[in-house]
Amino acid sequence: GAGVSQSPSNKVTEKGKDVELRCDPISGHTALYWYRQSLGQGLEFLIYFQGNSAPDKSGLPSDRFSAERTGGSVSTLTIQRTQQEDSAVYLCASSLTGYNQPQHFGDGTRLSIL
């Protein structure tokens, strides 16, 4: 069975460019989360989608960050005018609805800003 799929695996770009990161959740999972993990650090929550409800954007660090989820499935995280401090691994997770449901994580996208 397919797990959470993220693309690209690695992305190197120049400061100031826009980047798009993609997440394909597990089929049937209504909840989708984006996290950022800097080198050797813990997980920083970015945004949460649940079904057709308005997303919880409380973790987005600046207005350069945005995300959308089309058709309740695939999600795209966009970072505009990238800065060097945006360099990190961006992780996507999905789960079934419910407080007791564990998250299933993708392999992440390693983003490097030159």
Partner 1 sequence: AQKVTQAQTEISVVEKEDVTLDCVYETRDTTYYLFWYKQPPSGELVFLIRRNSFDEQNEISGRYSWNFQKSTSSFNFTITASQVVDSAVYFCALRGSGGSYIPTFGRGTSLIVHP
Give me the residues that bind partner 1 (CB under 8 A), please.
31, 33, 41-43, 45, 48, 50, 56, 89, 91, 93, 97, 99-100, 102-108
Sign of CA pseudo-dihedral 44, 39, 67, 97: negative
CB 19 within 8 A of CB 82: yes
Q: How far is the CB of 4 from partner 1 (least distance, A)?
A: 9
| DSSP 8-state secondary structure symbol assigned to residue 54 | P
Is the previous residue joined to 25 through a cis bond, with omega within 30 degrees of 0? no
C-beta closer to partner 1: residue 25 or 106: 106
Q: Which residues contact 65 (CB under 8 A, 6 or more apart)?
A: 46, 47, 77, 78, 79, 80
Minimum distance from residue 27 beta carbon to partner 1 (Å) = 17
Is the Cβ of residue 80 or residue 96 nearer to partner 1 in the bound state?
A: 96
Cβ 73 to partner 1 shortest distance, Å: 18
- Give the nearer residue to partner 1 in terms of CB position, either 80 or 105: 105
* Comparison of 56 and 80: residue with beta carbon closer to partner 1: 56
